[in-house]
Structure 1
Amino acid sequence: MYAWPASEVPALPGQGRDLRIHDTATGGLVTLDPGPVARIYVCGITPYDATHMGHAATYNAFDLVQRVWLDTKRQVHYVQNVTDIDDPLLERAERDDIDWAALAEKETALFREDMTALRMLPPRHYIGAVEAIPGIVPLVERLRDAGAAYELDGDTYFSVESDPDFGKVSGLDAAAMRLLSAERGGDPDRPGKKNPLDPMLWMAARPGEPSWDGGSLGRGRPGWHIECVAIALDHLGMGFDVQGGGSDLAFPHHEMGASHAQVLTGEFPMAKAYVHAGMVALHGEKMSKSKGNLVFVSRLRRDGVDPVGIRLALLAHHYRADWEWTDQVLQDALARLDRWRAAVSRPDGPSAEALVEEIRDALASDLDAPAALAAVDRWVARQDTEGGTDIGAPGIVSRAVDALLGVAL
């Protein structure tokens, strides 16, 4: 599977700061100190109802992580998956009377278009669950052969009790896990499971549903969590720098994935930091596919909204915050974009070297994009009220907000 084209990232004078970011597993800030190549895995979409504003906010957060690392003169090895086979996708295809593979292809193509328009830096490896199946099957077989998985009516389940570190990603107790498992794709009430929390690794073929050769597992399709584990281990290995996604992935997805990987490799942890973006609401409720209360990037673009304005609307909120999308949020962002563009269109202005360092400091401090925007706003206000004589300043500002915030002026 291919990703989308990369927008150019301007080079800036000086060098950025190491990123200090909130780690869900420890509950506090950690300073990331990758080697020359920073490694990040971000969980991708299940390709239906793409790309809604919750998606966009999540991928914007991890785009900032990449930009901070690039500014420290590191390379970035970014991997993202597409869950192009899963129950929700099949259910949507049946509802809309469309072939599931055609639906996945159409929505993935739309997602690529939206990511390109929003100037999100693409992953080096963009991998679909279906194409990862040849690598998934041997992992499930290894877990089974090691006694960490078992069969139940033809399906194969992972035993969470095989991992002594299970629970260290989310920090939740068993009762909270059980509730979230039921809400987020698990089957804690299925009779015969050794532990209600045990997740499925391989689902035996069901009548009328797609299936693949699973070797000794029989025909079927992979569970949700093992998909990301197979892709991450294949392309990044254990102990990569950041596992990212929305806050609703901390449990069960990232918790279960970490346990799968840790049992498979005997190493801990799977990722050095687990970083989660907040949820976006509409009309007082979290945007969700089940509720249908979604704002789509593609629809805004079709209505003539500048994608740079959409990106500024996302950046106006701290990545970990839960917030609400409103028309006013978008109008404020578009007005800010107009002010910024007017300011950098002038032939000179106030010195901008300090502004570049302010943006760097803000982003290095747990991706504080709102503080970075406020710093640019202050420079723009000075440009409006005081003017300046630095003929290079508008160009420096334009390159800085492009390189560090992904905002093209």
Structure 2
Amino acid sequence: MSIWDILEIDPTSEESAIKKAYAKKLKLHHPEDDPKGYQRLREAYDAAMKQAKSQAASLPVFQDEEDESQYEDSEESFDSEQHFFNSNDFFPVPLEEPRTERHPVYAFLQQVKELYDDFYARITPESWQTLMDEDIVWEMEYSQELRDGLISFLEDDHHLPRIVWEVLDNTFGFREDKEELLKHYDEEFVEYMIRQIEGTMELRYDCFVNQEIAFDIEQYLDLRESAQYMLMNGEVERAGDLLEEAHGLFTDDPDLELMRGKYYLEIRKPDEALECFTRVIALQPDDPDGYWQRALLYYDQQEYEAALADCMHLLNKDEGNKDQNVLVLAGRCHLALGNTADGRELIKETLAINKLHFRSYIHWCIAENAYGKTLDPAERKQPLRDDFLFHSFLFLRLTWFYICLYLIVSLLFDLHPYSTGLLLILLLWNAWKIWKVRRVLST
């Protein structure tokens, strides 16, 4: 078995690829649980790194086949009576004990701090990738300490773009080890890290590039993040105070303007919200969020032509992957403007993408009810069939439990006729509710 078979990658001179393969295999061959497997893996890793560095210097690694063959039979050559490690080698002194500057973990965490303190380097993923490629990161004996130290650092200093969080996750496997992290670290912060990695609460940093930071950037980032949290949790008044304080520090952040627009909508100030969404578009013309929020606001204000223009901008920009919600809103704008044919075509397009897209279905019902006489028979047949399938699915979703329970009990016991009558009443009741919903949607 060659070193590449052990690492399970193709021969390469890329050190980052070798390190990633090594880190992945380490999870399967922990030194305490599988010392033989770890020895083979470590020897393969060292040999692969040596070969990669030699190739980078245009020097051959193996002078003959014997050099590489020494790794092929490492399992047989392993002497169980002469272990090459002990447990203390791989689990050194805990981080909380004093460190000297010479300790490699301390030195690495100092590099992390220095990188974080340099704001422009901090928001550059290449800077972090270079740091993550340090040899110590791939040393098994320091891996736990490094992760502990890094997480402790990030608990206090965590304002990083998503792409940097992804670099850290690729190295330390935060998402993959989420359950293990929850046992040892603060649950709220672990969830925060996962959200940042996955981008579910992403706040962008592009607006700071090539900008002179003449204000307290940490204070601003704290305010921006706290305001986002407050808005999501319905604490509108507090969010408004934080947003205005942040806006007083820096005015060219599209994410902040987007949040300010949503805040003004919450307190029923549509004109101020419109200014914010327009400002988002001016700051980042390629960002769809500003157009979408402004289109919704225009529609609510019955400015259908303006709303339609923003929708069409989004649809024309992304023709290969059209957003169904944008298609529906554009169709509604056409219907409101009296453009019946165009409106029906757009809504039909959403149903072609997803027949069970509920918002599309609602507005197709509205279009059919208002303009049904103008539909030809072939055009009516498809929505009628989809209508039947949709409501059949809805009926089964509401009644499957009662039907299954009745069938199981009837197999085990002799049921009184009243039981069958009760089931029929439940089925009829749910059918009536669905009919009422259908009637509301189509009027």
- Please, what TM-score do these two structures have when normalized by structure 1? 0.22
- Please, what TM-score do these two structures have when normalized by structure 2? 0.21
The structure whose RCO (Cα within 8 Å, separation 6+) is larger is 1
Counting strand residues as a fraction of each chain, which structure ranks higher? 1
Larger Rg belongs to:
2
Counting helix residues as a fraction of each chain, which structure ranks higher? 2
